[in-house]
Amino acid sequence: MAIYRSHVLVCGGTGCHSSKSDEIKRKFEEKIKEMNLDNEVQVISTGCFGLCEEGPIVVIYPEGAFYSRMQINRVDRIVEEHLYKGRIVKEFLYEESIEADQIIPLSDVDFYKKQKRVALKYCGVIDPENINEYIANDGYMALGKVLTEMTPDQVIDVIKDSGLRGRGGGGFPTGLKWSFAAPNEADQKYIICNADEGDPGAFMDRSVLEGDPHCILEAMAIAGYAIGATKGFVYVRAEYPIAVQRLQIAINQAKTMGLIGKNIFETGFDFEVEIRLGAGAFVCGEETALMASIEGQRGMSRNKPPFPAVSGLFGKPTIINNVETLANIPQIILNGADWFRSFGTEKSPGTKVFALGGKINNTGLVEIPMGTSLREVIYDIGGGCPNGKAFKAVQTGGPSGGCITADYIDTPIDFDTLTELGSMMGSGGMIVMDEDNCMVDIARFFLEFTVEESCGKCTPCREGTKRMLEILERIAEGKGTLEDLDKLEKLGNNIKNTSLCGLGQTAPNPVSSTLKYFRDEYEAHVIDKRCPAGVCQSLLNYYIIDTCRGCTKCARQCPVKCIDGKVKELHVIDQDKCIKCGACMEACPFDAIIKK
Amino acid sequence: MQKVFDIKENKQKFDELLAYIESQDKSQGVLMQTLHKAQELFGYLPIEVQKFVSEKTKIPMAEIYGVATFYTQFSLEPKGKHTVGVCMGTACYVKNAQLVLDKLAKELNVAVGATTEDGLFTLEATRCLGCCGLAPVIMVDDTVYGKVDPKDVPEIVANYKK
In this predicted model, what pLDDT tens digit does every residue of A470-526 receive, in sequence order? 999 999 999 999 999 999 999 999 999 999 999 999 999 999 999 999 999 999 999
Distance from CA of B133 to the nearest CA of A (A): 5
pLDDT value at A264 more than 70: yes
The domain spans of chain B are 11-70, 82-161
pLDDT value at A369 more than 90: yes
For position B1, what pLDDT does the model report?
Answer: 44
Reduce the DSSP state of residue A382 to 3 states and report it: coil
Report the pLDDT averaged over residues B2-31: 87
- Give A117's strand partners: none
Can you tell me the distance from the alpha carbon of B35 to that of A516, in angstroms, rounded to the nearest whole number?
A: 44
Asked if residues A206 and B133 have their Cβ atoms less than 8 Å apart, the reply is no
Crossing angle, helix A152-162 and helix A323-335, to 10 degrees?
100
- Give A432's strand partners: A358, A394
- Establish if B104 touches chain A: CB-CB under 8 angstroms: no
Report the pLDDT averaged over residues A248-276: 97
Asked if residues A304 and A312 have their Cβ atoms less than 8 Å apart, the reply is no
Contacts of B33 in chain A (CB under 8 A): 276-277
The pLDDT tens digits of the residues spanning A72-129 come to: 999 999 999 999 999 999 999 998 988 888 888 888 899 999 999 999 999 999 999 9
The pLDDT tens digits of the residues spanning A309-351 come to: 999 999 999 999 999 999 999 999 999 999 999 999 999 999 9
Nearest CA in chain B to A207: B130
Query: Within a 10 A sphere around the Cβ of A96, how many other Cβ atoms?
Result: 19
Nearest CA in chain B to A281: B71
Determine the residue type at A340. Answer: F
Contacts of A314 in chain B (CB under 8 A): 27-29
Can you tell me the distance from the alpha carbon of B38 to that of B46, in angstroms, rounded to the nearest whole number?
A: 10
On the CB side of A4, CA atoms within 13 Å amount to 17
Can you tell me the distance from the alpha carbon of A89 to that of A92, in angstroms, rounded to the nearest whole number?
A: 6
The helices-and-strands tally (H runs, E runs) of chain A is 26, 20
pLDDT above 70 covers a percentage of chain A that reads 100
Report the pLDDT averaged over residues A554-572: 92
CATH of range B82-161; options 3.40.50.1220, 2.30.110.10, 3.90.1150.10, 3.40.30.10: 3.40.30.10
The helices-and-strands tally (H runs, E runs) of chain B is 7, 4
- Residue in B98, B85, B162, B100 with CA at minimum distance from that of residue B130: B85
Instruction: For residue A395, report the phi and psi dihedrals to the nearest 5 degrees.
Output: -100, 125
Instruction: For residue A116, report the phi and psi dihedrals to the nearest 5 degrees.
Output: -135, 115
Q: Which helix (H) or strand (E) holds A67?
A: strand A65-67
**Strands of A261-264's sheet, edge to edge?**
A261-264, A269-277, A231-236, A190-195, A318-322
On the CB side of B104, CA atoms within 13 Å amount to 29
For position A1, what pLDDT does the model report?
Answer: 66
Asked if residues A563 and A584 have their Cβ atoms less than 8 Å apart, the reply is yes
Is the backbone of residue B119 left (phi > 0), alpha (psi -120 to 50) or beta? left
For position A180, what pLDDT does the model report?
Answer: 97
- Establish if A437 touches chain B: CB-CB under 8 angstroms: yes
Distances (CA, A) of A35 to A29, A31, A62, A65, A87: 10, 6, 20, 20, 16
The pLDDT tens digits of the residues spanning A394-421 come to: 999 989 999 999 999 999 999 999 999 9
The pLDDT tens digits of the residues spanning A292-313 come to: 999 999 999 999 999 999 999 9
A 5-44 → B contacts, CB under 8 A: 14-15, 17-19
| CB within 8 Å: A241 and B142 | yes
Q: Which helix (H) or strand (E) holds A262?
A: strand A261-264
Domains observed in chain A = 6-113 (3.40.30.10), 131-338 (3.40.50.11540), 351-434 (3.10.20.600), 439-526 (1.20.1440.230), 541-595 (3.30.70.20)
The pLDDT tens digits of the residues spanning A175-212 come to: 999 999 999 999 999 999 999 998 888 999 999 999 99
What is the ipTM, given to two decimal places? 0.91
pLDDT value at B2 more than 80: no
Question: Cis bond leading into A305, ω under 30°?
Answer: yes
Contacts of A445 in chain B (CB under 8 A): 90, 93
Least confident range of A173-177, A239-243, A450-454, B18-22: A239-243
Chain pair A-B, CB pairs under 8 angstroms: 133
pLDDT value at B56 more than 90: yes
Instruction: Name the residue among B67, B73, B146 with its Cβ closest to that of A296.
Output: B67
Can you tell me the distance from the alpha carbon of A408 to that of A392, in angstroms, rounded to the nearest whole number?
A: 11
pLDDT value at B162 more than 80: no
- The distance from CA A441 to its chain's CA centroid, rounded to whole angstroms, is 21
Instruction: Name the residue among B36, B142, B145 with its Cβ closest to that of A277.
Output: B36
Contacts of A398 in chain B (CB under 8 A): 90
Can you tell me the distance from the alpha carbon of A246 to that of A263, in angstroms, rounded to the nearest whole number?
A: 24
Helices (H), A123-240: 131-136, 141-149, 152-162, 174-181, 204-211, 213-227
On the CB side of A456, CA atoms within 13 Å amount to 8
- Establish if A199 touches chain B: CB-CB under 8 angstroms: yes
pLDDT above 70 covers a percentage of chain B that reads 98
Asked if residues A153 and A182 have their Cβ atoms less than 8 Å apart, the reply is yes
- Give A276's strand partners: A235
Report the pLDDT averaged over residues B129-140: 89
Distances (CA, A) of A157 to A141, A173, A180, A503, A572: 19, 12, 12, 31, 74
Report the pLDDT averaged over residues A519-543: 92
Round the average pLDDT of chain B to a whole number and report it. 91
Instruction: For residue A231, report the phi and psi dihedrals to the nearest 5 degrees.
Output: -135, 135
pLDDT value at B161 more than 90: no
- Give A395's strand partners: A403, A431
Can you tell me the distance from the alpha carbon of B69 to that of B79, in angstroms, rounded to the nearest whole number?
A: 15
| CB within 8 Å: A363 and B30 | no
A 335-364 → B contacts, CB under 8 A: 355, 357-359, 363-364
| CB within 8 Å: A364 and B131 | no
Round the average pLDDT of chain A to a whole number and report it. 94
Determine the residue type at A255. Answer: K
For A344, which DSSP code?
A: B
Can you tell me the distance from the alpha carbon of A287 to that of A307, in angstroms, rounded to the nearest whole number?
A: 10
Can you tell me the distance from the alpha carbon of A322 to that of A234, in angstroms, rounded to the nearest whole number?
A: 10
Q: Angle at the Cα of B142 (from A67 to A321), degrees rounded to 5? A: 80
pLDDT above 90 covers a percentage of chain A that reads 85
Query: Within a 10 A sphere around the Cβ of A238, how many other Cβ atoms?
Result: 16
Can you tell me the distance from the alpha carbon of A272 to that of A284, in angstroms, rounded to the nearest whole number?
A: 22
Instruction: For residue B43, report the phi and psi dihedrals to the nearest 5 degrees.
Output: 85, -25
Determine the residue type at A376. Answer: E
Reduce the DSSP state of residue B139 to 3 states and report it: strand
For position A581, what pLDDT does the model report?
Answer: 83
Asked if residues A565 and A514 have their Cβ atoms less than 8 Å apart, the reply is no
For position B47, what pLDDT does the model report?
Answer: 94
Entry pTM: 0.92
Instruction: For residue A346, report the phi and psi dihedrals to the nearest 5 degrees.
Output: -60, -45
Instruction: For residue B121, report the phi and psi dihedrals to the nearest 5 degrees.
Output: -130, 140
Report the pLDDT averaged over residues A243-247: 95
A 44-73 → B contacts, CB under 8 A: 52-53, 55
- Residue in A50, A92, A86 with CA at minimum distance from that of residue A68: A92
Q: Angle at the Cα of B51 (from B50 to B56), degrees rounded to 5? A: 100
**CB-count exposure of residue A28 (10 Å: 0-12, 13-18, 19+):** buried
- Give B83's strand partners: B122
| CB within 8 Å: A202 and B94 | no
Integer Rg of chain A from CA: 27
Instruction: Name the residue among B67, B72, B88 with its Cβ closest to that of A297.
Output: B67
| CB within 8 Å: A431 and B36 | no
- Residue in A66, A61, A64, A56 with CA at minimum distance from that of residue A26: A56
